[in-house]
Amino acid sequence: MSTMPKTGSPGAKIVGPAVRDLDRVLTAPAMAFLAALERKFRVRRQGLLARRARRQQDLDRGATLDFLPETRAVRAADWRVAPAPFDLQDRRVEITGPAEPKMMINALNSGAKVFMADFEDALSPTWANVIKGQASCQDAVRRTLHYQSPEGKRYELGDALATLVVRPRGWHLPERHLELDGEPMSASFVDFGLYCFHNARTLLARQSGPYFYLPKLENHLEARLWNDVFNFTQEALGIPAGTIRATVLIETITAALEMEEILYELRDHASGLNAGRWDYIFSIIKKFQAEPGFCFPDRSRISMSAPFMQAYCDLLVQTCHRRGAHAIGGMAAFIPSRANPEINAIAIAHVVADKEREARAGFDGTWVAHPDLVPVARAEFDRVLGAEPHQKHQLRADVRVEAHDLTDFCIPGGTMTGAGLRKNINVALRYLDSWLAGTGAAALDNLMEDAATAEISRAQLWQWIHHQAVLDRDGAPSAGSGSRRQAGPAPSGRASGTGVGQREAGRASGEVVTVERFRQVCRQELELLGPGLGNLEQAARLLDILATRTAFVEFLTLSAYDVLVANEAALGD
């Protein structure tokens, strides 16, 4: 692999290949700043990751989840987060996409109030993509970003732009192209640090600031670490305290039980919480992986109308508004097809219903994945918000959510089907193929699939195999889909949703999901997809590991990143 050695601080070096824009992104001062972040906070980050592992072990042994008794005083106290800056007051429609020039230009020009440039779920972290993403953010902040397609079409920024917010990668991910003292740097510190270092002062001069979405947090101690990182960065860069603002994605079941504490830890920097619903579903499967017989129904059946998902959203809105923060709704992942008006009509009707539900539930804004959905979502929030920038006055005093409301995962009418098995395999194969080829946001079957939705597919495959799920044959609900008890409240904080008795009752009428059956369907899907997908064989090997290994693999992106880096090295050789 050809490399461009560079040292901005003793022990810090680039070990990735020489790629375009490397010199202006990884300057010596920027490298020194990254090294300072890594040295200051590496041990704490690693300790928090070890804490995650211990908590998973406790859950595997039967521990329960509940609101924390030791932070009851925080929940009872009267406090509010800092007021939102002017350009984060109105967030009624936010659009998301990878930090890539063409998508960034289209999103910033889309008419949305906020654009989230994603370095996490929607970006395949090839070294070239990471550096190009940072360079594109620098250009976007300075209003010089442009792109010319291979066909010669030129894309430029317009006059009215969405507010730029950046999502760095999660605490768990390494950046193996940068090392400090022989160890990979934290991908979180790299993404956050480079964006802040290069852009904070320019953003302030434009009456904006460095704004972030924080992914995959599992508890308030992880939020405390981010808050300390913000304070350190503001002091190091000489910018005012409170300049950095963060919206936290509540996309783990453990974080859902610590929403107030997370806002409290970040109260001088917090701008809101977001209902990251796809990762949230993935988190539930992961956290309760050892619950005997627990199986969710087909992914398409896990909707926001499920009682536990309604409880999660209601609690998020109530928590945010009580503390003066924005509550941002979930993603509309539909990708309009200009060639198929029938598909569009059906899908847009679903989007309208989803956004109407969110607006009337009290959310202050929502997410979409495609510019064509911006006016669709905005119309539903305009009807509720009118000329007001948000609806934080809606305190949702009617909401009473207990731990068992969040952990009773019964989905009425849920079914596990052969079609669902095949769909999970198909989506996981195609997405992993795309990701390994360097594209992290893949339009599959008129849906924008990213790492979060792919995680559901592969996690569900593991869940069905591990618990020998019985597939429904005739369309009737499988007994106990998503629920181990059909009546009565769940024990506080312990997942209700294990389908006890389903396996034996269903053997005569339905097919049991086994490793052999999974591999048979996988081979069939590979034949249908054909040889045209360049990384499909690697994707299939990776999916087999993720779905059949006895121990649940925590994140597919960790395993896939190993393959991605190896592929880069092979190309360099």
For 233-237, 283-287, 498-502, 539-543, which range has the lowest pLDDT when averaged over its residues? 498-502
d(CA 324, CA 266): 13
Strand-pairing partners, residue 368, are 95, 332
Hey, is 242 helix, strand or coil? Answer: coil
The pLDDT of residue 2: 39
The pLDDT of residue 476: 43
Q: Please count the residues of the chain.
A: 573
The pLDDT of residue 268: 98
pLDDT digits (tens, 9 = 90+) for 159-178: 999 999 999 999 999 999 99
List active site positions: 167, 450
E strand segments, 52-182: 93-98, 114-118, 146-148, 154-156, 163-167, 174-180
Please name the residues in contact with 25: beta carbons below 8 A apart, sequence gap of 6 or more.
Answer: 131, 134, 135, 138, 194, 198
Hey, is 273 helix, strand or coil? Answer: strand
The pLDDT of residue 473: 73
CB 135 within 8 A of CB 517: no
With residue 315 as reference, give the H or E element that holds it.
helix 307-322
The pLDDT of residue 8: 56
The pLDDT of residue 489: 37
The pLDDT of residue 127: 97
The model's confidence at residue 494, banded by pLDDT at 50, 70 and 90, is low
pLDDT digits (tens, 9 = 90+) for 408-461: 999 988 899 999 999 999 999 999 999 999 999 998 988 899 999 999 999 999
Distances (CA, A) of 450 to 94, 368, 414, 460: 17, 13, 24, 16
Question: Taking all residues of the chain, what is their mean pLDDT, rounded to a whole number?
Answer: 92
Please name the residues in contact with 80: beta carbons below 8 A apart, sequence gap of 6 or more.
Answer: 267, 323, 324
Distances (CA, A) of 70 to 74, 258, 336, 421: 9, 11, 48, 42
Mean pLDDT in residue range 214-218? 98
Please name the residues in contact with 180: beta carbons below 8 A apart, sequence gap of 6 or more.
Answer: 9, 11, 12, 34, 35, 38, 39, 42
Distances (CA, A) of 48 to 179, 268, 529: 20, 22, 41
Q: What is the DSSP string of 414-469?
A: ---BHHHHHHHHHHHHHHHHHHHTT-SSEEETTEEE-HHHHHHHHHHHHHHHHTTP
Give the sign of the dihedral formed by CA 227, CA 232, CA 236, CA 240. positive
Would you say residue 11 has pLDDT above 50? yes
The model's confidence at residue 397, banded by pLDDT at 50, 70 and 90, is very high
For 33-37, 138-142, 533-537, which range has the lowest pLDDT when averaged over its residues? 533-537
> Token digits for 240?
């005012």
CB 538 within 8 A of CB 428: no
For 68-82, 179-193, 323-337, 529-543, which range has the lowest pLDDT when averaged over its residues? 529-543
d(CA 295, CA 485): 12
Q: Which domains, and CATH codes, for the chain? A: 32-332+344-385 (3.20.20.360), 416-469+513-572 (1.20.1220.12)
d(CA 114, CA 84): 14
d(CA 410, CA 496): 7
CB atoms within 10 A of CB 73: 7
pLDDT digits (tens, 9 = 90+) for 59-74: 999 999 999 999 999 9
The pLDDT of residue 1: 39
Would you say residue 541 has pLDDT above 60? yes
The model's confidence at residue 506, banded by pLDDT at 50, 70 and 90, is very low
